[in-house]
Structure 1
Amino acid sequence: MRHVILSIIVFVVMAVSAHAQTTNYQVYSLFVINIAKYSSWPEQNGELHITVFGKSKIYDELLKQNGKNVNGHIVKVSQADNVDAIGQSQIVYVADGKSSALDDILKFTQGKPVLIIGEREGLFKKGAGFSFVVMENSTLRFDINNTELDKRQIKVSKSLAALANQSI
């Protein structure tokens, strides 16, 4: 329990350090890893495969996590520009410039336990499990689509869900 509380505190501190003027992809990357840490999938081999869909500087930041262990799973990071290249990913991070492809990603991953995280605000309302939002005070937060996560059999800890800006 103490470890969970400490992790939540670190998570909130990271949120406060994000600034809207310059996108801090290191913070976005830490959010993605922490979302993975506090989520579980119905079936998962020894890997936690994260695919960045489109071009985003978060790819370079996530590469720093390549090979590290998250909940007993080795992180594997890749980049894709078409839905066929998503493969067997557990997490698909949709770059801002590829937000228009969300419908194609949702169709390609339909019925699969794939957590979709949108860089663009509001994508959680369109089917992404999570999407980021920069608040008026320049803090980075996230929104959750619990309905979509339930359909995909992805469980999110209550402590993570409690940190959401909005949830549906």
Structure 2
Amino acid sequence: MRTLKLYIVLAFCLTAVSARAQTTNYQVYALFVMNIAKYSSWPSPDGELRITVFGKSKAYDELLKHNGKNVNGHLVKVTQVENAADIGQPHVLYLADGKSGSLDEIIKATHGKPVMIITEREGLYKKGAGFSFVVMDNSTLRFDINNTDLEKRSIKVSKSLSALANTMI
């Protein structure tokens, strides 16, 4: 039943709402982040699901709409930072497109920690991010997964979520 719900939510996102390069729909990005978090698990979770946006992105405003909501028994707490030193201990780190050049710094700052890195820029899953968004030719938003990185960080992603990936390593 849970798998069916996941397919319905993500199928809606993939078909009903498009993310165009010129007019990016950050509401869809935020919805994907929330569903990725919902179908993932971290070691030793506490009472919060901390999502930190690194850099300026309109996705932050959309993620704020989920602040205080419950995901798998955890209250969502959304913050935004501009410096790697201010990251803290998030469960999800959303890397804004304008800060994509900071990926190596982010990977070093979170090395050995159960932090899922999700990037707006396509292809960064090949460089160590757990997820990268990709806008398809038909303008739908999809994601690529780096399971190797997620496993190193002790983060588990449901098989049904992995099955929806555009590309997976």
Deviation at 1:99, TM superposition (A): 0.2
C-alpha separation between the residues in 1 aligned to 2:141 and 2:49?
24
Partner of 2:44: 43
Instruction: Measure, in 1, the Cα distance between the counterparts of 2:44 and 2:105.
Output: 23
Q: CA deviation at 1:19?
A: 2.8
2:7 paired residue number: 8
Question: Match for residue 65 of structure 1?
Answer: 66
**Offset at residue 15 of structure 1 (A):** 1.9
Residue 133 of structure 2: aligned partner? 132
Match of 2:31 in 1: 30
Q: Deviations over 1:25-66 (max 9, x none)?
A: 000000000000000001111000000000000000000000
Which residue of the partner structure matches residue 94 of structure 1?
95
Contact 2:116 2:130 in 1 (8 A): yes
Say whether the 8 Å CA contact 1:18–1:139 is kept in structure 2: yes
TM-score by length of 2: 0.97
- Structure 1 stretches (4+) deviating beyond 2 angstroms? none
Instruction: State how far apart, in whole Å, the 2-side matches of 1:55 and 1:19 are.
Output: 18
What is the total number of aligned residue pairs between the two structures? 167
Q: State whether residues 15 and 27 of structure 1, in contact with CA within 8 Å, keep that contact through their aligned partners in structure 2.
A: no
2:10 maps to a residue whose letter is F
Aligned counterparts of 1:152 and 1:18: Cα–Cα separation in 2: 31
1:6 Cα deviation after fit: 2.5
Structure 2: give runs of 5+ residues left out of the alignment: none
Is 2:158 the partner of 1:154? no
Q: Quick one: percent identity of the two aligned structures?
A: 69
More divergent stretch after superposition (119-128 vs 5-14): 5-14
Point out where structure 1 has 5 or more consecutive residues left out of the alignment. none
Aligned to 2:142: 141
Superposed CA offset, 1:123-152 (max 9, x none): 100100000000001110000000000000
* Separation in 1, partners of 2:80, 2:106: 14
In structure 1, C-alpha distance between the alignment counterparts of 2:19 and 2:111, rounded to whole Å: 34
Q: Distance in 2 between matches of 1:89 and 1:18?
A: 28
